Amino acid sequence: MARRKVTVVGSGFVGSTSAQRIFESGLADVCLIDIIEGKPQGIALDLMQAAPVLGVEGAIVGTNNPKDTHGSDVVLMTAGMPRKPGMDRSDLLEINAKIINDVADYVRNGSPNAVVIVVTNPLDTMVYQMWKRTKFPPERVIGMAGVLDSARMRCFLGMELKYGVSDIDAMVLGGHGDSMVPLPRFATVNGISIETLLPKEKIEAINNRTRNGGAEIVNLLKTGSAYYAPSASSFIMVKSIVNNERRLLPAAAFLRGQYGLEGLYVGVPCVIGSKGVEDVVELPLAPAERDLLHKSAEAIRKDIGIIKQKGLLPE
């Protein structure tokens, strides 16, 4: 049986660390592509030289040529411009939408059966852009954010409770940003609700820290942003697709009326397998939770409107 092939687009910290996790796990052969000449080739060669030490079999190639990505089973899109001082949201949307369009074209032409996972920010808008440009069935284009945001919430709960994080489950819905919707009502420690273990003020503080989880790391690093947790979250999604694990994970999925939302990508719990999003799980939200989710969706619609105005979104 031929080995599966995963292309990672972008050899920055998130992309290179994701490529490392996929390659060193033996999950699939990896193609790492970037527009910067020499960088993906150097990273791939370094990882290949680590393979004998770790006992890893398989292949990883670095390239600047989109043809080398052809035949991919999964494409992990990490390339994009981070927001810089003085850059407004409209500027960031325009720059990254153009990058998405370029990648979507060679993915559509060379890997027509691939499942695409988008990590590029602003995430929920960029996954919508990728779907429109590839013209893939929406189930085969997914946004990675919910796994990351939920992992941050689980981490902060573990830090507060002093319990093992492997026993902690949490769910964060909505857009990847300030409007995300942590759901402490559905968070448990080995089946025990956190609402019985922590006072309301502690839970709300953890909710707020979760919403600002990425910004907290940016402020500490001074330059750059998180990549270990984002790459781990990306890897788990790739693994569920390649191995058809059908894991229930929070991710940006295309909604067709679920949660009262239609025609856009929003973070929700979904089953992820070899076909991409194979089912969307609709939680019984309280009115306040549903209002927050709809508010988050409106922020996503606003960003989609911006890229439509700039003529970058296919009809």
Domain ranges for the chain, please list them: 5-143, 146-307
| Residue among 21, 140, 176, 239 flagged as catalytic | 176
Strand partners for 269: 250
The structural architecture, per CATH, of the domain 5-143 is 3-Layer(aba) Sandwich (3.40)
Low-confidence ranges of the chain (pLDDT < 70): 1, 83-89, 315
Eight-state DSSP code of residue 315: -
pLDDT at res. 312:
87
| Residue 294 appears among annotated catalytic residues | no
Same fold, 5-143 and 146-307: no
pLDDT at res. 91:
79
The structural architecture, per CATH, of the domain 146-307 is Alpha-Beta Complex (3.90)
pLDDT at res. 252:
97
CA distances from residue 153 to 78, 143, 208 in whole angstroms, order as listed: 22, 18, 10
Residue 253: name the closest of 240, 239, 267, 243 by CA.
267
pLDDT at res. 314:
77
Please tell me the pTM assigned to this model.
Answer: 0.96
Residues 30/23, Cβ–Cβ less than 8 Å: yes
pLDDT at res. 88:
63
If DSSP codes are grouped into helix, strand and coil, which group holds residue 112?
coil
